[in-house]
Amino acid sequence: MKHYYSILLFVLTACLLVQAAVAEPSRVFSQETSDIEAAGSISLDLDYPFSPVGATTGLRIGAFDGVVLINSHPETGTRMGFANSSSIGYKRFVNNKFAVYGVVSYYDDAVDSGTDFAIGAAYTVKSGTLTYNINPEIITDEVSGTRGLKNTVFVKGSVLVPLTAVKVGKASAIAEFNLENNNTLDSIINLGLRWAPRKDVTLDFVVYSDRGNPGAGANPPDSIEKGIPGWIKANIRF
C-alpha cells in the first residue's frame, strides 16, 4: 500500500506545481495517435502498474518537425511493446489525421543483449463527440523472447468518449483493444478514464486491464494477467 500512496502523492503534487500549457499527450493508454507534441515542448510520462511489473518512464520531445520518443524501464516493465530495454523513436506528422513512427530498442540482461525494431502508423479521426484511433504496428523480437522470438503484427484501436458531466478540467472514458498475429501472445483490452485537471497535466486511470493468457512460449510463461485497477499513467508537460 505504501507504493500506492506514493504515486497518489506524486500525482497531487504534479497537479499543483506544473505550470506549462500545451495539448494532451500524443498517445492513449498503450498506443500512439496521429497527434504530435508542439515544437520545443517536453513531456514526461510516468506509468505505475498495480501489479508487480515495474514502473516505467518516458519522454516526449517536440523536435525535428515531429516528436522524439525516449523510453526506459526496469527488467519487469514494458513500454511500446518492449521489455527490459531502453528505446528511442521518432514520430512524424503526415497530415491532420495520420502519422508514422519508428522505434529502436536495445535489450540487455545477464544472459543476452541485442536490438529490436518497431515501425507503425496512427490514424485518428473525430466523428461527432467521439474520437477513434487505429494504430497498426510491426515489432521484431530477435533477442528478448517477449514475443516468442517472432516478428509480430499488432493492430491497436481505441475510442474516446468525452465526459461532459466533469466540470473540473477535461475528462474522457477510453476503451482500447490490441490484436496480434502471434500465438505466443493474446489480445489485450484496457478500459479506463482520462482526466486533465490542468492543460499541462494528464492523468490516465486504467480501471480494467485484461492481457489474456500469453501462452506457454511467452516470457513470463502462461500467466493470465488482469488488473483491477490496471495502472495509473501521468503525463506532465513543460
Q: What are the contacts of 103-112 at 24+ separation with CB within 8 A? A: 103/69, 105/80, 107/82, 107/83, 107/143, 107/144, 108/84, 109/75, 109/84, 112/143, 112/144
Q: Which domains does the chain have, with CATH numbers?
A: 2-237 (2.40.160)
Give pLDDT tens digits for 50-69: 765 567 888 999 999 999 99
pTM across the whole model = 0.80
Give pLDDT tens digits for 101-139: 999 988 777 777 888 899 999 999 999 999 999 999 999
**DSSP state string for 152-204:** EEEEEEEEEEE-TT--SSEEEEEEEEEEES-TTS--EEEEEEEEEEETTEEEE
Residues 175-188: what's their mean pLDDT? Answer: 89
**What grid cell was written down for 41?**
515542448
pLDDT of residue 158: 97
**What grid cell was written down for 189?**
483490452
Could you give the C-alpha distances from 80 to 71, 145, 233, in angstroms and in order?
A: 8, 15, 14
Out of 66-80, 136-150, 193-207, least confident range: 66-80
Out of 81-85, 168-172, 212-216, least confident range: 212-216
Q: How far apart are CA 12 and CA 65, in angstroms?
A: 33
Over 70: is that where the pLDDT of 83 sits?
no
